Amino acid sequence: MPAALASRGPRALGLLVGAVLDAAVGDPRRGHPVAVFGRTAGAVERRVWADSRRRGSAFVLGWVTAAVTVAAVVERAALSAGSRVAITAVSTWAVLGGATLLREAGQMQSLLEAGDVAGDLGPARARLAHLCGREARDLDADELARATVESVAENTSDAVVAPLLWGAVAGVPGLVGYRVVNTLDAMVGHHSARYERFGWAAARLDDVANLVPARITGLLASALAPLVGGKPGSTLRVLRRDGAAHPSPNAGRCEAAFAGALQLRLGGDNRYGSRVETRGPLGDGAPPQVADIARTVRLSRLVGVATIVLATAVAWLR
């Protein structure tokens, strides 16, 4: 490692090394730090749960404060530029999920293609739970493809863009703090009888943490649209027009941008257990088909690479 590079930009270099590690290695099969945190937080949640916004807010803020404090202490304890690079790289690798996201999308495409030949979509329906929480039991191949495309679009921001940007502006505490917020939202921040009140703070905090990254994801997807057959101008038009036609203030921007860039139409009825969520149409094209998953993966990868460049540049300048 060149000493001058390490001394000038340990945060930038650490982000870059961590992103390369995620692309090359992906998530470990066992003992992933985020999974360990999730199990620990889940055990605590079962003990402290109450149908109360105040109790849920204390639960979320307690975890976020503790995680950010520990991360800040660890980062400041690194006395050399090389150790700061290493800590940032390991933290970046731990919180990124881009490689796993794209691997799961590719697996879904393979299962859907095999199911089309064999006439059995059971494996693909079961696999969808690795990407999103919607009920897959009655979905046909095209609906499974739509779910995959929408999940990749949303999670390109959650798993790649947002953690890298938070890492660029706030270092290791930003990386760790964002992942804790996002994980708690996935655990308790959804609409259900149990979590409607307890998970309110987790959902709102996640909305705030993703407000800027989701819109940057939309802008990057628009700029990169020609590489997947789209046009920047029409993609921006779809983003502006349809981005708010979604229950989430952030996911809609990502999905609308991907719909415009890929020249597809997303949205529709999604079932989550006994609850049906209707999302307005996003985009002007045809509904996704199985072959469109590969183009979605390509766009997600391109957005990820562009974000790495952006995040390392921001960190370097800071």
Predicted confidence (pLDDT) per residue in 96-121, tens digit: 999 999 999 999 999 999 987 667 89
In a domain, 265, yes or no: yes
Rounded Cα distance between 180 and 285, Å, is 36
What is the number of other CB atoms lying within 10 angstroms of the CB of residue 240? Answer: 15
pTM: 0.93
Rounded Cα distance between 185 and 169, Å, is 22
CA distances from 218 to 14, 153, 240 (A): 25, 9, 10
In a domain, 50, yes or no: yes
User: What's the rounded mean pLDDT across residues 206-211?
Assistant: 97
What is the number of other CB atoms lying within 10 angstroms of the CB of residue 68? Answer: 19
Q: Quick one: DSSP state of residue 286? A: B
3-state secondary structure of 245: coil
User: What's the rounded mean pLDDT across residues 174-193?
Assistant: 95
Rounded Cα distance between 9 and 127, Å, is 41
Q: What is the pLDDT of residues 266-309, one digit of tens each?
A: 998 888 877 778 788 999 999 999 999 999 999 999 999 999 99
In a domain, 2, yes or no: no
Contact yes or no for 166/209 (Cβ under 8 A): yes
In a domain, 90, yes or no: yes
Residues of the domain holding 132 = 8-317
In a domain, 112, yes or no: yes
CA 205 to chain centroid: 15
Please give the tally of structural domains in the chain: 1
3-state secondary structure of 189: coil
Q: Quick one: DSSP state of residue 130? A: G
In a domain, 1, yes or no: no
Two tokens, residue 305: 């690479």
Location of structure tokens 């009140």: 197
